[in-house]
Amino acid sequence: MKCTFPHMGTMYVAVESLLEGLGHEVVVPPPITERTISLGQHGAPETACLPLKINLGNYIEAMENGAEVILMGGGVGPCRFGYYAEVQREILKDAGYNFEMMVLEPPKGQLSLAWQRFKPLLTKVSISKAIAAVRLAWAKAQIVDDIEKLTHQVRAYETVRGSATTARSKAIAMLRQAKNTRDLPRLVEEIKTLFQQVPVDPQRQPVVIGLVGEIYVMLEPFANRHLERLLGEMGVLVRRSAFLSDWLREQFFNLLRFDVQKKARLLAGPYLPHFVGGHGLESVADSVNYANNRVDGIIHVAPFTCMPEIVAQSILPKVSADLDVPIMTLVVDEHSAEAGIITRLEAFTDMVRRRRARQAES
């Protein structure tokens, strides 16, 4: 059974490790390119949001490489993501592809039937091996997040442009090779040294910009046209409000997240007292949180037509005015181009820099 799954930033590192640990052959979809988007866009409904189209492209490219089973997340709304798998399956079926789609969600109907479906996925190896695989994957997800944080931190101070990005790719490649939880502590040390070797200018005082928004476009660099790299190379210290392990925790261990949700509700409360699906509430809450922690600016990213983020986008100007922090919304879709995004980011960072200088004077 050759399995594949959609990309979302660095998620493949953890999921690949998990599936291999469970004894499956894994086809990681090729890295997202323009071709991926154009393949996906072809069959997808026009006004569907960007992740649906990129997912489709991932599946098609993975099937070209021999994938037979697609693993996908599900949900019960109100965000469209919950219905992605249904629509994507029908699109691919009508396009003549031969595959099986496994949707990871609470089953409809009899539990035993659901077990029959997922049995081949889970029972290829012994229980102890399966547990080890889950532990390794989870550890990798957390390390990958640490790599991202290190990259954000180092990139703003690097003296040779692109060296933090190179260190990041090397670190991720090393992490992908790890087959055992025992190797991980040593690996973490190696990764730290890798980033310490990046030449930096510690005297620099970069402006701090917080990223909030919809999780997919925030985590997937191709969807946001390498927003973090662009900002970092403009000398901005990027803070991101959500990481892979946050999302995985939310998907699979929802119960453990009550404290986080409660905090988000408390922060967003004065502006948005009700959850709106997706990450709309989190976008408002994280913006308030960043503003309270005195960042210099906030960038809100969202896929075009994303319903929860439109709610957030309507509310953020009020947050910006009340808490005196610049907020820019960046909406991306398959037609976004890097040049346009660079121009907007340059304008925003210039404004943020000037604003900070003015505040320092007074």
Of residues 320 through 349, those in contact with other proteins by CB under 8 A are: 331
3-class SS of residue 30:
coil
- The structure tokens listed for 203 are 């005297």
Query: CB under 8 A: which stretch of 116-124, 219-227, 274-282, 291-299 binds other proteins?
Result: 274-282
Q: Is there binding between residue 305 and other proteins (CB under 8 A)?
A: yes
Of the candidates 1, 104, 114, 310, which one interacts with other proteins according to CB under 8 A? 310
- Residue ranges of alpha helices (H) inside 235-306 are 244-252, 258-268, 280-292
| List 33, 42, 76, 266, residue binding other proteins (CB under 8 A) | 76
Q: How many CB atoms lie within 10 A of CB 102?
A: 18
Stretch that binds other proteins, among 197-205, 248-256, 271-279, 352-360 (CB under 8 A): 271-279
Quote the tokens at residue 155: 């990139």
What is residue 329's three-state secondary structure? strand
Contact residues for 180 (Cβ-Cβ < 8 A; gap 6+): 136
User: CB of residue 73 vs other proteins: minimum separation in angstroms?
Assistant: 13
Instruction: Give how far Cα 143 sits from Cα of 36, 174, 187, 214, Å.
Output: 27, 11, 10, 22
Using CB under 8 A as the binding rule, whether residue 222 contacts other proteins is answered as: no
Q: Is 317 in the site for other proteins (CB under 8 A)?
A: yes
C-alpha 101/C-alpha 60 separation (Å) is: 13
Q: Least distance in Å: CB of 224 to other proteins?
A: 16
Say whether residue 22 binds other proteins (CB under 8 A): no
Q: Which two tokens stand for residue 119?
A: 């049995």
Other beta carbons less than 10 A from residue 362's beta carbon = 4
Query: Which DSSP letter does residue 292 get?
Result: H
Rounded to a whole number of angstroms, the minimum distance from the CB of residue 255 to other proteins is 19
> Mask of contacts with other proteins, 94-123, x by CB under 8 A?
x--------x----x---------------
Task: State yes or no: residue 74 binds other proteins (CB under 8 A).
Answer: yes
Smallest separation (angstroms) from other proteins to the CB of 25? 27
Residue of 347, 43, 353 lying closest to 207 (CA atoms)? 353
Identify the residue among 31, 66, 77, 340 touching other proteins (CB under 8 A): 77
Binding site for other proteins (CB under 8 A): 45-49, 74, 76-80, 82-83, 85-87, 90-91, 94, 103, 108, 271-278, 280, 302, 304-308, 310-315, 317-318, 331
